[in-house]
Amino acid sequence: MDSPIDLDIANLPPAITSMAPSCLYLVVCDSDALIHGLLFVNLPGANATPAVFCCDQTPGRQHDTRWLDRRMLSGSLTLLSPKGSARPALTECLEELSHARDPLRRGDENELLVLGNAEKYLGFDHPDAASRELRAATQWAEEKRRCVLLLANRQRLDMAAQAILAKAASLCAGLALAQKIGAGVYSWQTEHWMGAGAAAEAQTHVLGHDVSGALRLLREEPDALAARPALDLFLVHATRASLDGNTPPPPQWQLYDDLPALTAAAGGAVAATVLLDTGTSQRETLADAVSGLRRQCGSRLKILVRESGNRRLRRNEEQLLLQLGANLVLPAELRFASAVSLIHALQPAVYQRRNHLEPQILRNASLPPTDRGYLPPARFAEMVRKTVQRSGAIQISSTLVILSPAGGIRPWEMLAPDRFRRTGDLCTADTLQAYLFLFACGEADVPAALRNQFRLPVTDLADSATRCPDNASILQALTRLENQPNPSPPRPRDGARAASAKGPARVALRRLPLRRRDKDGETIDV
């Protein structure tokens, strides 16, 4: 009797994790971390079925590979890495993998073949190429009596290739779509799956990693919340300030004068929509309201925050609200009519960005560094590193800009720390370059931020400007800055000194008589 084959994602039902012999399954995601968790921890620990894994990467420090090591030592699992840049067709690759265990195979036993980076083996040069490859692979799995699991990363595919793959995936016995929605948190959507028992239809769950690096189901919504009937689906609770001027509210909208009145009235909501505003509440009060409503009402409640008045949210504030429970943040530029249409379109939405960190930890992660302006290189690197690592927990994106000055300009002469008005925006310089750290500033917002920092166009001051738009590239740039041999201390120009620098010595002045020449050329005192 064949051993059962399972993805072994803890607490997910077997109907959407078990895999049948002679079938082909496809998991499409946007995160290598999820693929590595499945390959190196989940699958080796759950299955006694002989297996062959093929993947470009190796396990990381966060992965507990005890089961992987045991099975490789026993000969029941073979881990391979592809050679060379050329990739054969999918069926040819599977045929080659199936022979990896020929010396160890015992009779006509079942076997699991897992292929990482499967997108490299599918053809996308023609709309039907991927369908042909998957159809041929499905027939091969049935003829050879092999269970095949393909793991594809859609980040390596353009939009056209993703559309082709989505259409072709209907040929598989199972299709799961995974997406990163937080730090180590993923949505897992099973489109269709033929496992143990009846075929499963579309289901969505939220996954995370345990201490071993394995994928597991995160805490689900309590049964008491999930079982409540949604009789308020089209009801909208809104603060008056979230509307434009004297705009009359649409039908089934209930308006409240302030945030406490709204939260009290919406406390028993199930699938209604809550529209909050930024103009009448402090940052902490608004965050508490979003967190409390999400915790009290569950994932079917829609929470939207609209910028109003003179209160605009910084990117870190917006990301904090999304992590605490808001579905969307509506910019002030969005017309009210468009906001109403968007609210109607969101009626069937379910909140999936469930972050299981404590709210206070999320708040701390969203805070900018306390300094601003110029810092010495060592202090700059330390402060930026801590900020990036802390804010990365809730996916706040900052940007580091490295400027190489034009001829005749020294790096520290470019800096104007007195123009750094936003808390968290920092700068420094070494002997060759100037560095600007723009906290919670996306790459698209960098040009506007640079216009605020410099009186002249950056192109007039710098020969080149290198942007580091993600945390990984920022940390690499900081390492290079720290490893420079004996960098000379930067010297900001007099009008833009660091806060701790001393001013120039005072010069004593004395009054002298004014002298002029008369019409005869003689000098006279006035």
Residues 81-103 have pLDDT tens digits of: 887 666 688 888 999 888 887 76
Beta-bridge partners for 80: 54
pLDDT tens figures, 138-160: 999 999 889 999 999 888 888 78
| Strand pairing report for 253-256 and 273-277 | unpaired
Q: Is residue 516 part of a domain?
A: no
Torsion angle defined by CA atoms of residues 7, 8, 12 and 16, in that order, rounded to the nearest 10 degrees: 30
**Where is the domain boundary, 344, 362, 380?**
362
Q: According to the model, what pLDDT value does residue 256 have?
A: 92
CA distance 27 to 176: 5
Q: What is the DSSP letter of 120?
A: G
Q: Are 26 and 170 in contact (CB under 8 A)?
A: no
CA distance 455 to 365: 32
* pLDDT higher at 48 or 234: 234
CA distance 29 to 280: 40
**Where is the domain boundary, 316, 346, 362?**
362
Q: According to the model, what pLDDT value does residue 1 have?
A: 46
* Co-location of 207 and 70 in the same domain: yes
* pLDDT higher at 470 or 246: 470
* Number of independent structural domains in the chain: 3
* Co-location of 169 and 70 in the same domain: yes
Residue 480 sits in a domain whose CATH number is 3.30.70
Using the structure block, give the residue that is written with the tokens 């520290």: 412
For 489, the domain range is 368-496
E strand or H helix at 379: helix 377-391
Q: According to the model, what pLDDT value does residue 220 have?
A: 62
Q: Residues 229-250: what's their mean pLDDT?
A: 84
Beta strands in 389-505 (DSSP E): 399-405, 426-429, 434-438, 462-468
Average predicted confidence (pLDDT) for the chain:
82
Alpha helices in 310-453 (DSSP H): 315-324, 336-345, 359-366, 377-391, 446-453
Q: Residues 38-54: what's their mean pLDDT?
A: 87
CA distance 347 to 292: 21
Q: According to the model, what pLDDT value does residue 499 have?
A: 38
* Co-location of 331 and 252 in the same domain: yes
* Co-location of 108 and 150 in the same domain: yes
pLDDT tens figures, 277-318: 998 888 889 999 999 999 888 888 999 999 988 778 888 899
* Co-location of 264 and 171 in the same domain: no
Q: According to the model, what pLDDT value does residue 495 have?
A: 42
